[in-house]
Amino acid sequence: MIGGTTKLFGLVGHPVTHVRTPQAMNALFERNGLDAVMVPFDVAGADLAACLAGLQRIRNLEGLVVTVPHKMSAVELCRDLTPRAGLAGAVNVLRRVGEDAFAGDMLDGEGFVAGLAAAGHAVAGRRICLVGAGGAASAIAVALAERQPAKLTLINRSRERLLALHERLRSRFPALDVVIGEQVGGHDLVVNATSLGLRADDPLPFDPEQVGPGVVVAEVIMTPEITPILHAAARRGAAIHPGRAMLDGQLDAIFRYFSEDGRIPARQGRGP
């Protein structure tokens, strides 16, 4: 039962019809007996700053999950960032700092590699191609680079974002073979870290004819579960790794980020 003691959490994105995080977090709040609720907010890109400024004034709002297209622009609206969020240049969780500011962290990368590990897909020593250079892609790039792949190839439509990510990775991981490419062929793991596939009329993020048996094609999009590029890759004989694994890999981390230090009270009359 929601009441006056309930702590509020939101998810900001556009669109939000596909999101799965509020459902998962509300189940965790319920399972742990915590007096909290998370709801999705559909916020267009141009409205993010005004939205966060208003939300800061809601005293019982404790934090936010940030999703497409806000992960990079939300960085500028945070008072504090963790080192990994600063390196990725993106955030996907915010929590209140004092009365009028948010601190940010980026958990997508850790969630993605945790999902790969749970499915038995190795990173170390593998040739990896990452398609995308936005918020989630940048976080995934950092997490992959930390696990010593043999090679990391970056592909993205926006040259400016691509060059910026490439430079950050080269600076932080000077021993890593990180290159800018155009084709996904010749890799062991190909990751679609773009939003292409979220809408029914989206083009494919890369040519599926370049993958086949022995290649893992991974996705970050959660809905639909099997995106068009995963369908196409499976028809070519590639192994596929759906996007839901990234969320499953970071749910506990998101929960801890929001609930540590006793930030959320127990529901009255109920224990964990």
Distances (CA, A) of 162 to 74, 102, 166, 229: 19, 27, 6, 21
Phi, psi of 51 (to 5 degrees): -60, -50
Phi, psi of 102 (to 5 degrees): -120, 145
Q: How far apart are CA 50 and CA 22, in angstroms?
A: 22
The tokens of 165 are what?
Answer: 């990510």
Q: Catalytic: 7?
A: no
**Look-up of token digits 């702590």:** 7
Q: Which residues pair with 96 in a beta bridge?
A: 102
Peptide bond into 224 cis (omega under 30): yes
- Point out the catalytic residue in the list 7, 71, 161, 166: 71
User: Which residues have a catalytic role annotated?
Assistant: 71
